[in-house]
A and B are shown apart, each in its own frame.
Chain A
Amino acid sequence: MRPFAYQRVTDAQAAVAALGERPDAMYLGGGTNLVDLMRLGVVSPDALVDVTRVASGTIEDTAGGGLLIGAGVRNSDLAAHPTVRRRYPMLAEAVLSGASGQIRNMATVGGNLLQRTRCSYFQDVSKPCNKRQPGSGCPAVEGDHRNLAIIGHSTACVATHPSDMAVALAALGATVHVEGRNGARQVPMPGLHRLPGDEPDRDTVLEPGDLITAVELPALPFTTRSKYRKVRDRASFAFAVVSVAVALDMSDGVVRDCRIALGGIAHVPWRAELAEEALRGAPATAAEFARAADAELAQARPLPENGFKVPLARNVLIRTLTDLVETP
């Protein structure tokens, strides 16, 4: 067998130090993606540093009126938390739409952000993949890419980010707390994940040894009116074909502010800034929602087999915004 060391640490500095000593070590959270990837041979760390006891498992109010979610909080606890449900319903809905009950019981917030693409070629070590093996090629461009990116992709990689939770966090403008070799720092969302460019092996801006310790949600009163809609091939236990997270601040039928992000269409949870810009100050009508969707999706460059995601994303965006307007 392929041996690997297992080490459990109880504080963030120790975790970072442990990874400093072993460059091929990886952090282990819930293991719901990492263990699969190890079994498939996609990753083969020589050590696992278990950080489930480092990362706080608590959810606390912040002084600024936001919420600080420990990186070790399990997905099911996050989705069930009363404050999350009341103030950030899109986040609770996004988490609940992902995976299965058993997996949500194991998966952590930090790990969820760092899960890898489910692109078939990435997960099959008998085939080339620039993300897994830089420079080996991307068979998905000519091969099966029905579920892959329509926006922000490169010739090197057309993978999508699989997380539902991350889409809601990108829409909310969450801040990711990171402990690294040079101390603690904060990374905004969007901004944690990166587009593939010519370095698709790098999913995020994190540096070696960086550990996510918490995710902070801003105080954003209008996010009580928010929604996550996931479109999928199967009624449950399937990754998003397209998903959308939206929050609307309205008064007198006019959009004062909004937050929009899309999932299943890009290498990152895609914050729809052009759509947001188009909507601010506009009447909250289906026609304006369509205009906003078109403004965002004008950048789309679908591949031969996933062109359907453009009208799909458009329809879902319009529908979800319309539903929010009609929500009392």
Chain B
Amino acid sequence: MTTTVPSSVGSALDRVESPDKVTGHARYAFEHSPRDVAYAVPVQATIARGEVRTVDVDAVLKCPGVIAAIWYANAPKLAPADNPELSVLQSPRVSYRGQYVALVVAETLQDAREAARTMKVEYATEQHDVELRADHPGMYRPNRVNPNFPADVEQGDPDAALAGAPVVVDATYTTPAEHQNPMEPHATVAEWDGDGLTLHDSNQGSSVVRDTVASLFGMPPANVRVISPHVGGGFGSKGTPHPHVILAALAAKQTGRPVKLAVTRQQMFAVTGYRTPTIQRVRLGADADGRLRAIVHEAFEQSSTLREFAEQTTTPTRMMYAAPDRRTTHRLVRLDVPTPSWMRAPGETPGMFALESAMDELAIACELDPVELRIRNEPDADPESGLPFSSRNLVACLRDGVRRFGWTDRDPTPGVRRRGRWLVGTGVASSTYPAYRSPSQASARAEQDGRFTVRIAASDIGTGARTVLTQIAADALRTSADRVQVEIGDSSLPTASLAGGSMGTASWGTAVVRACEALVDELDRRGGDLPAGGVEASADTTEEIKGRQRFARHAFGAQFAEVGVDTDTGETRMLRLLGVFAAGRIVNPKTARSQFIGGMTMGLSMALLEESVMDREFGDYLNHDFAQYHIATCADVPDIEAFWVEEEDPHLNPMGSKGIGEIGIVGTAAAVANAVHHATGVRIRDLPIRLDKLVR
């Protein structure tokens, strides 16, 4: 172990599983077909509030191929769940339209689907309420917001500071409900073997699914195995198990058959989470030179009656800019709607749309360049906690972006640049995302043939996790990446945190490094003498993470957008999008670029297109397919570039990395909206920026 191997971290290693993916060898959850498998198709409530009275089970059982029809009255009883969404078929209560009320299991998917379609469900219907309003009488202050922040934070006297500020911006912004829509819909294949349950499942964390399912079925976690080698995207919607996972396991238990359950795209609009719509009032008080005196950011959001999910919309405002007097609040109303959940950068994404739009409005009010305004309000330490930042390079990102984008000679006058029939404008916004880390375990094994195997129940949801862990392990083992095999996506591997909160690489990478270090120590101790069967070492980072120093740890970025707005039609099209990010050490420039531009693409899609339309009469998200819920196509994605500044941060993790899965979407929508204002002189405060808001 004395030879010097070039560092693998930092190199643009191709995805290690890409040959499997392009040749179809990579298997996704639904492609797993146990012998004698049956198919389950759920039935969804067609009322938004009330109770299931009866289900005509006998009629369904007469349908061809049907094995079982399960509903509240005949479903196996589950142990109580922390998340009431998961208590499927345990109550006749209907809490939102689209909630699962029954399940058909049949010999084929077609039989199951047809029987489910014809199943007669009778309801006792109650009046529903599905409309989010800031003045809704049911608005309340949640105890905590996701994942565990105080709902309200106040420092100083923001009302007095606002009253005394020479310049005040006071504006209300709204963002619609949006759905994550990963390419691969949710799917679970459940198979019981005595008291043991195996799930092939599409998720962002097999350890989490294992623990949750085991608890509901009253079993030790060791009895459940969750296998998820390849996952076609999640964006938060697969972060924790949704009810279909339980349904699949329950159906397999009831029928004694392995059961496949695939959630359809249409069903996903009710049962796999979404981003809450928000109403946000932002007030900024500043001196004439743009220095902030007061920041007040109030968010109004929704959750279901079933479960409180309170998104942390205003938390980025707590740490973005310096201002002595500040207040950030969250109010929530429980409506008869599906339960919202995580969607790529929950909180930061809608919150920063409002804050960064308001900053643009303030720059105009102060006649100040919007980049300069942000630099002028750069804090020395975290304004909320007073803690030092482990590193903060927002200003470097802004300055680098100014240079690369060609911002310097920008004329701030709105509505004056024409290119043919297009009005053209540019906008800027800041990005930020916390650098989290969670405890994980990993093992590393030296095989007899000189190769290494690293095991951890991490998830690669399309991000490149398997590849970067290979690189991280190679460096820690002082070997080359092609001699390292990383096994992930299986709950029988050492327990790991989930792929969420942009913390996968930091959390898993730490555990992998520690396991590899322990293995190297062990090998050194043995002096290169490898016993038959190899040598293994393992690590658990719980203590390391608990004991880390207190810092404010966040990634930052700056996004620059150029748009054209058609003078006749109001159609807005992206011309250019450029992001510069400061996210610690970049482990793999190739997969990192994909993460950044993927996030930015999702951000421009949010800015211009995405909206889940709530139907007030029926209480569901009406536009529940890809023909109606518009996501950016290739033609909508312009010249898009992502760069990063070199950032050394010794206070993060052994890799010196910050998460990059989510920061790309944060701030994009504000940069686009600010560019639309610069192009047209029209300030759009309600997303998405569609032509009906601009046509005159």
Contact = CB atoms under 8 A, between A and B. Distances in A.
Given A118-B628, A143-B622, A315 B111 contact: no
Contacts of A187: none
B131 interface: no
Given A1-B110, A234-B632, A308 B692 contact: yes
Contacts of B569: 231, 242, 312, 315-316
B570 A312 contact: yes
Given A120-B622, A308-B695, A315-B568, A236 B635 contact: yes
Given A120-B622, A142-B617, A236-B634, A1 B573 contact: no
Contact of B616 (A143, A232, A315): A143
A41 B617 contact: no
B90 interface: no
B530 to A, nearest CB: 54
Interface in B533-572: 568-571
B595 to A, nearest CB: 24
Interface in B291-321: none
A1 B108 contact: yes
A319 interface: yes
B613 A144 contact: yes
A126 interface: yes
Contacts of B678: none
Given A233-B609, A233-B691, A308-B695, A127 B568 contact: no
A191 interface: no
Contacts of B573: 235
Interface in B610-654: 613, 615-618, 622-625, 627-628, 630, 632-636
A165 interface: no
Contacts of B632: 234
Interface in A242-287: 242
A311 B622 contact: no
With most chain A CB atoms within 10 A of its CB, the pick from B111, B117, B568 is: B568
B568 A118 contact: no
B623 A120 contact: yes
A146 interface: yes
A126 B270 CA distance: 14
A41 B623 contact: no
Interface range for B: 35 or more
Interface in A220-234: 231-234
B419 interface: no
B691 A144 contact: no
A312 B633 contact: no
A234 B617 contact: no
A96 to B, nearest CB: 13
A312 B691 contact: yes
B114 interface: yes
Interface in A200-243: 231-239, 241-242
A139 interface: yes
A233 B632 CA distance: 10
Nearest to A100: B633
Contacts of A232: 571
A146 B636 contact: no
A287 to B, nearest CB: 16
A41 B114 CA distance: 10
B485 interface: no
B46 interface: yes
Interface string A125-137: 0110000000000
B114 A146 contact: no
A142 B46 CA distance: 19
Contacts of B635: 234-237
Given A126-B46, A233-B609, A319 B617 contact: no
A139 B633 contact: no
B170 to A, nearest CB: 27
Given A1-B108, A120-B622, A143-B616, A233 B630 contact: yes
A139 B618 contact: yes
A118 B691 CA distance: 20
Interface residues of A, number: 32
B614 to A, nearest CB: 9
Interface string A304-324: 000010011001101100000
A118 B627 contact: yes
Interface in B578-634: 608-609, 613, 615-618, 622-625, 627-628, 630, 632-634
Contact of B117 (A41, A139, A142): A41
A155 to B, nearest CB: 16
B260 interface: no
B690 interface: yes
B421 interface: yes
B181 to A, nearest CB: 15
B114 A2 contact: yes
Given A241-B691, A311-B696, A236 B618 contact: no
Interface string B375-396: 0000000000000000000000
Nearest to A1: B110
Interface string B31-46: 0000000000000001
A236 B571 CA distance: 12
A1 B618 CA distance: 28
Given A127-B618, A235-B635, A311 B695 contact: yes
Contacts of B624: 124
B308 to A, nearest CB: 28
Nearest to A320: B568
Contacts of A143: 615-618, 622
Nearest to A40: B266
B128 interface: no
Contact of A235 (B108, B117, B633): B633
B632 to A, nearest CB: 7
Contacts of B210: none
B328 to A, nearest CB: 33
Contacts of B571: 231-233
A123 B623 CA distance: 10
A315 B695 contact: yes
Nearest to B571: A231
Contacts of A233: 571, 608-609, 630, 690-691
Contacts of A1: 64-65, 108, 110-111, 113-114
A98 B4 CA distance: 58
A272 B691 CA distance: 23
Nearest to A142: B617
A236 B46 CA distance: 33
Contacts of A316: 568-569
Contacts of A238: 630
Given A120-B628, A233-B630, A234-B609, A144 B622 contact: yes
A139 B617 CA distance: 8
Interface in B95-112: 108, 110-111
Interface in B115-167: 117
A318 B113 CA distance: 50
Nearest to A139: B617
B693 to A, nearest CB: 8
Contacts of A311: 695-696
Contacts of B633: 234-237
Max chain A Cβ within 10 angstroms of own Cβ: one of B114, B117, B609, B692: B692
A311 B111 CA distance: 50
B630 A234 contact: yes
Contacts of B690: 233
21 contacts: A1-B108, A1-B110, A118-B628, A120-B622, A120-B628, A123-B625, A126-B618, A142-B617, A144-B613, A144-B622, A231-B691, A233-B630, A234-B609, A234-B635, A234-B636, A236-B634, A311-B695, A311-B696, A315-B568, A318-B568, A319-B568
Given A1-B64, A1-B111, A319-B568, 4 more contacts: A120-B623, A126-B618, A231-B571, A235-B633
What 5 pairs between A and B have smallest CB-CB spacing? A1-B110, A236-B635, A235-B635, A315-B568, A308-B692
Interface of A: 1-2, 41, 118, 120, 123-124, 126-127, 139, 142-144, 146, 231-239, 241-242, 308, 311-312, 315-316, 318-319
